[in-house]
Amino acid sequence: MAPASCQATDKLSVLLEWFVNPDHAPMVIAKQQGLFVAANLDVELIPPSDPSAVPRLVSAGQADVGIHYQPNLFLDHEAGLPLVRFGTLVETPLNTVTVLAEGPIRSLRDLKGKKVGYSVTGFEDAMLKKMLASAGLSNDDVELVNVNFSLSPSLIGGKVDATVGGFRNFELTQMKLENYPGRAFFPEEHGVPAYDELIYVTRRELAADPRLQRFLGAVEQATIFMTNHPQQAWELFISAYPALNDELNKTAFFDTIPRFTKRPAALDSGRYTRFGAFMKESGLIKSAPAVDDIAVEIR
């Protein structure tokens, strides 16, 4: 043990896309179990003061790694940011179109003439358009209402009939806990190609940095531990962030475990190709980039 204690530890800064929550559990568990230390890494998890600034800050070298959304990576590439995906955190979409379970909307077609609340434009507009198209509708058939990041309260309060952008592992639980259960329509079941919700990105010049391979190795070990020992993993998580020990975060933690990739370094090139075609078809980007231009697989 003595020689190891004298070895210099490599620092690695990870800029999160939001405040710490169960979506970040594999990294938290890796820290709590000493897996990063065993990989000779000193990993700092940094909540952003401005979530929208994460890609720019990582591109500018203000952080080594960023947690990002796969759809936004295509937008950032077109904007000229030198970002590449080198790992996957959450391998399924979390986004939804949500309505009240006891309300009159039983299918997407029932949204005709209804109000749909949203928080941000761009990808979610394209997602909604594709989902409505699967039901023979268009965005012109609904009234879009900016609810300013108040998705569930606006739906529960009757200000809108549906929302787009709520995460299935958080907003649905939040609504249930408030005795207003929701019904979700999943984009990947209504015409939108499946995509990775959360990914690890870095600037291209760091893509071959050996720290990244060790980082993903530790995250993989932590994710497998969470899968095998979910209750122990939850206890480790709240020991690090006791303020998150409530029913919403606990339910979200266990609901998200199946959605964490067990092979974070693995790259599904076909998925990126299909999604790039969708982004181009939706008019969000002018041309779909080659997968090699926006994603790497660390071996």
50-80 pLDDT, tens digit per residue, is: 999 999 999 999 999 999 999 999 999 999 9
Residues of the chain with CATH 3.40.190.10: 10-91+196-293, 95-189
Q: What is the average pLDDT across 223-244?
A: 98
CA of 100: how far to CAs of 97, 130, 149, 276, in Å? 11, 21, 18, 32
In this model, does residue 90 exceed pLDDT 80? yes
* Structure confidence at residue 121 (pLDDT): 85
Mean pLDDT of the chain: 95
CA dihedral sign, ordered 98, 102, 108, 113: negative
pTM (2 d.p.): 0.94
* Structure confidence at residue 4 (pLDDT): 43
Residue 117 near residue 151, CB atoms below 8 Å: yes
Q: How far apart are CA 295 and CA 299, in angstroms?
A: 13
In this model, does residue 141 exceed pLDDT 80? yes
Q: Output the CA torsion 67→171→219→226 (10° steps).
A: 180
* Structure confidence at residue 8 (pLDDT): 67
Q: What is the pLDDT of residues 165-221, one digit of tens each?
A: 999 999 999 999 999 999 999 999 999 999 999 999 999 999 999 999 999 999 999
- The position carrying tokens 């990914």 is 199
Question: How many Cβ atoms from other residues are within 10 Å of residue 145's Cβ?
Answer: 16
Residue 299 near residue 208, CB atoms below 8 Å: no
* Structure confidence at residue 7 (pLDDT): 61
Residue 19 near residue 210, CB atoms below 8 Å: no
Beta bridge partners of 163: 98, 117
* Structure confidence at residue 266 (pLDDT): 97
Tell me what percent of the residues of the chain surpass a pLDDT of 70. Answer: 97
DSSP class of residue 44 equals: E
* Structure confidence at residue 2 (pLDDT): 39
In this model, does residue 295 exceed pLDDT 50? yes
Superfamily of domain 10-91+196-293: Periplasmic binding protein-like II (3.40.190.10)
Reduce the DSSP state of residue 286 to 3 states and report it: coil
Q: What is the average pLDDT across 19-31?
A: 98
Q: Which two tokens stand for residue 105?
A: 């909307």
Of 3.40.50.170, 3.40.50.2300, 3.40.190.10, 3.10.150.10, which CATH number belongs to 95-189?
3.40.190.10
